[in-house]
A and B are shown apart, each in its own frame.
Chain A
Amino acid sequence: MIINHPLLGPRDAAEFIYLGDAALIDRPDWQAEDAMQQFHDYAYLRDNPAGPHRELWYHEQGDRSWLVVTRDTTTHEITDVQMARDVARSRGRDK
């Protein structure tokens, strides 16, 4: 597979490490009333669609960017690649 890195252009997927569902960005609030349940869902219940999937890839053999890649799990077609940091900020993550 080829991942079109937003900064570096097309790169072989073999340069990357795969993590999984991009929802892993949305780490729950540790002080929430039901933090245990939320962390359980966060850590264990991930999206696993047959179709477009937003997922985290890490450019380990490259610039060490974490990317959010939208890839169809039935065809492997990649339709979108973003810097994970930008996605995280846009989802309200801060410090």
Chain B
Amino acid sequence: MRYSAFRIFREGLTGNKGWKPVWREPDPKPEYDIVIVGGGGHGLATAYYLAKEFGMRNIAVLEKGWIGSGNIGRNTTIIRSNYLLPGNEPFYEFSLRLWEGLEQDFNYNAMVSQRSILNLIHTDAQRDAFVRRGNAMILAGADAELADADQLRAELPFLDFDNARFPIKGGLYQRRGGTVRHDAVAWGYARGADSRGVDIIQNCEVTGFDIENGRCTGVQTSRGAIRARKVAVCVAGSSSRVMEKAGMRLPIESHVLQAFVTEGLKPVIPGVITFGAGHFYVSQSDKGGLVFGGDLDGYNSYAQRGNLPVVEDVAEGGMAIMPMIGRARLLRSWGGIMDMSMDGSPFIDKTGIDGLYFNGGWCYGGFKATPASGFCYAHLLARDEPHPTATQMRLDRFISGNLIDEKGMGNQPNLH
């Protein structure tokens, strides 16, 4: 069913009785060409691009709960490609370009809104680092713009310019950055994949891998065994737990990241704003809530909830740069499991087991990567070679020493 204003009009006249399920609820078949483990954003995008770009149809996406229940269902909705390193920047720029045509591509309004993202600068050294970054972005074909304090004062008068502990000295804009309605991304990909024949199977938990002679031939699930020529894992926060079933240890720790939203407010914040001297970033959703977040709690956790010190730390950061939000109220907080990798960058790679592929380690940055992650994973699965923008996202890079450490924090996942 193609969505359009006309369709809405017609359905509205007939009591909205004609809408069809956005995806089917098929039973699993005994065998697929490719089984994707994980029905989050990346898994669904992978299935979508496999079907649409690489002509594969005999695909299943297995989801242990409901689709979109992972980090695509709880994040701060930001898209951007303001990365520094050559191992990352071309990939994220590829992702941003896919975001830009996404809705027309899958006929679903995910509300991609290129409202801009701004990283505030508070010291000269920070400015130098952001100039390096901005130039790296432009060299990779992305957009970047350096703003000085006067320009920001004119554009964002509500920031604290006059009484700040860490005065604002400027900022690095990426005007093409912005926000997306996160759930709709999962639903749009699911709809697009389903309509191309992909079986999306919810409430189907993978309990084991069938591995014979170093080759993965299928999975065991809560709904029975499923054979597959290739098994593609992308389970984000559950990466360590799932890959352990295949006997693999990963350079990943699972950490909790809290995120927050306020009550709905009339428009106050135009784009995404990131504090450069504390842990705080914020945007405003189309519904009016201020969506914001900060730092990891900092300890390994699968509990999907955090603790108070971080809540307060984040609010302090917010009040430090925009004291007008003092009377906005925190409505909801939540905690997601971040698959924090050892250098803060992800993996899209084959494993040491034939037929078993891994996509993970997205840290707290997986949402913006969703389209490119799906595309590049699909590329790897279909052609058995990495997409040109994802050649460094390998599992063996810690052995070779080819690190992709954007923040320079080393093998300490909670600092990335």
Q: Given A13-B307, A48-B240, A73-B300 in contact, is the A20-B251 Cβ separation under 8 Å?
A: no
Query: A43 near B: Cβ within 8 Å?
Result: yes
Binding site of A, secondary structure by majority: helix, strand, loop or mixed? Answer: mixed
User: Does the CB pair A73–B413 fall under 8 Å?
Assistant: no
A40 and B412: CB pair below 8 A?
A: no
Per a CB cutoff under 8 Å, which of B251, B302, B307, B399 touches A50? B302
Contact B300 A44 (CB under 8 A): no
Q: Binding site of B, secondary structure by majority: helix, strand, loop or mixed?
A: mixed
A1 cross-chain contacts in B, Cβ below 8 A = 299, 307
The answer to whether B267 has its CB under 8 Å from any CB of chain A is no
Contacts of A44 in B (CB 8 A): 251, 342, 398, 411
Chain B residues closer than 8 Å to A36, beta-carbon distance? 399
Residues of B within 8 A of A55 (CB): 299-300
With A1-B307, A20-B413 known to touch, is A48 a contact of B300 (CB < 8 Å)? yes
Find the B residue at minimum CB distance from A72.
B303
B407 within 8 A of A: no
A20 touches B399 (CB 8 A): no
Give A8-22 interface residues, CB cut-off 8 Å to B: 13-14, 18-21
- Min CB gap A29→B, angstroms: 18
Contacts known (A14-B309, A48-B253); A43 close to B303, Cβ less than 8 A: no
The yes or no answer to A64 lying at the interface (CB within 8 A) is no
Assess whether B193 is interfacial by the CB under 8 Å rule.
no
Q: Is A73 touching B301 in the complex (CB atoms < 8 A)?
A: yes
CA distance A36 to B400 in the complex (A): 10
CB pair B303–A76 under 8 Å, yes or no, is yes
Q: Which residues of chain B have C-beta atoms less than 8 A from A53's C-beta?
A: 300
Q: How far is the CB of A17 from chain B (nearest CB, A)?
A: 8
Interface residues of A (CB under 8 A from B): 1, 13-14, 18-21, 36-37, 40, 43-46, 48-50, 53, 55, 71, 73-76
16 A-B pairs besides A13-B309, A40-B398 with CB distance below 8 A are A1-B307, A14-B309, A18-B298, A19-B412, A20-B253, A20-B413, A37-B399, A44-B411, A45-B250, A45-B251, A50-B254, A53-B300, A55-B300, A73-B302, A75-B303, A76-B303
